[in-house]
A and B are shown apart, each in its own frame.
Chain A
Amino acid sequence: MENHEWEDEIIEGIRGQKRAEPNPFLFTRIEAKLGEVNSGIVWNLKMKVAVSLCAFTLLLNSVLIIQMVSNPVSESLVTESTYQVDSYQFEIY
């Protein structure tokens, strides 16, 4: 069996070594990135609300237009008002 004392000494020597510390300013950098991420999230949220409002308004307008075009109630209202005007005119004469 081969003797690997030298290699094993290097491998085992890595155990228990002191941990390296990151740059003390790293947390400031992370916080700055976090700010960017958060402002991105807020901006996305605002955009979503704006787009939803626009879509809702468009939908509402379309529904109203369709209703105005196809609803027969509006016709009867016009006819009724014509009768009223006619009767009013009758009363005058």
Chain B
Amino acid sequence: MDTNHFDTIKRIASGDRGAFRDLYETFKSRVYNTSFSYFQNAEEAEEVTQDVFLEVFRSAWSFKESSSVSTWIYRITVNKCLDGLRHRNRKKRAGFLMSLFKKDTGELKVDVAHFISPERVLENKEKSELLLKSVSQLPESQQTAFILSYIEELPQKEISVIMNVSEKAVESLIQRAKGNLRKKLEIFNPNRRKNN
């Protein structure tokens, strides 16, 4: 287990701001990147990054050395992201219901859905965006397993500790996530469209 940052956490627990800055510098991009993968939005990713580090500072005293600091921070990040997504989905659902009706007359109105046109040739950046959009449509546990494995490139053992499931369960979640992603991406495949 990585015991590198245990001392830093102890110093943070005693209120050492310098130690907190050191920890922030070490983990900021991992936390931000993970959050960005969930939200695909810089503003929300920064909001979550801020919440994660505030939580780290507040609960440093309760950190148990049974897991590594990295695992602990990833676990806080995943929980904050999932909470944020649930909150966003609740708001979206309420907003969607409101958007179905015109404010003044109360009549039903039709919104044009936003989608990426399959006709376009996808550049690398667009491919990443398309993949992240598809990832965001996966069930929560598949989404988390895929992000931690493919984007954060964590070993399955660490993912299992973060998600509090067995390594076999992680493996299965990743396989199911890949299967679902293939199906979601299929409609954008230009070769398949030509064949059909």
Same assembly: yes
* Measured CA separation A19–B33 after assembly (Å): 6
A9: nearest chain-B partner, CB-CB: B127
* Residue from B29, B53, B131, B151 within 8 A of A10 (CB atoms): B131
A30 to B182, Cβ gap below 8 A? no
The chain B residue sitting closest to A6, CB to CB, is: B189
Counting CB contacts under 8 A, is A34 at the interface?
A: yes
B182/A4 in contact, CB under 8 A:
yes
Interface size on A, residues (CB 8 A): 24
Shortest beta-carbon distance from A88 to chain B in Å: 68
> Is the pair A7, B182 in contact by a Cβ cutoff of 8 Å?
yes
Hey, which chain B residues are within 8 Å of A23, CB to CB? Answer: 42, 46
A30:B50 contact, CB within 8 angstroms: yes
CB distance from B187 to the nearest CB of A (A): 10
Distance in Å: Cβ of B31 to nearest Cβ of chain A:
8
Contact residue among A15, A17, A22, A34 (Cβ-Cβ distance under 8 Å from B54): A34
Q: In angstroms, how far is the closest chain A Cβ from the Cβ of B155?
A: 14
Binding site secondary structure of chain A = helix
B127 touches A19 (CB 8 A): no
Q: Assess whether A20 is in contact with B33, with CB atoms less than 8 Å apart.
A: yes
Which chain B positions have C-beta within 8 A of A69?
A: none
Task: Please tell me if the beta carbons of B150 and A11 are within 8 angstroms of each other in the complex.
Answer: yes
Cβ contacts under 8 Å, A30 to chain B: 24, 50, 53-54
- Which residues of B are found within 8 Å of A34, using beta-carbon distances? 17, 20, 54, 57
Q: Are A11 and B53 in contact (CB under 8 A)?
A: no
- Whether, in the assembled complex, B38 has its beta carbon less than 8 Å from a beta carbon of chain A, the answer is no
Interface residue B117 (Cβ < 8 Å from any Cβ of A): no
C-alpha spacing A23/B155, complex, angstroms: 28
Interface residues of A (CB under 8 A from B): 4, 6-8, 10-11, 13-17, 19-23, 26-27, 29-31, 33-34, 37
Q: What are some 28 contacts across the A-B interface (CB < 8 A)? A: A6-B185, A7-B181, A7-B185, A7-B186, A10-B127, A11-B178, A13-B124, A13-B128, A14-B128, A14-B131, A14-B150, A17-B128, A17-B151, A20-B29, A21-B28, A22-B32, A22-B49, A26-B49, A29-B50, A30-B53, A30-B54, A33-B54, A34-B20, A34-B54, A34-B57, A37-B54, A37-B57, A37-B58
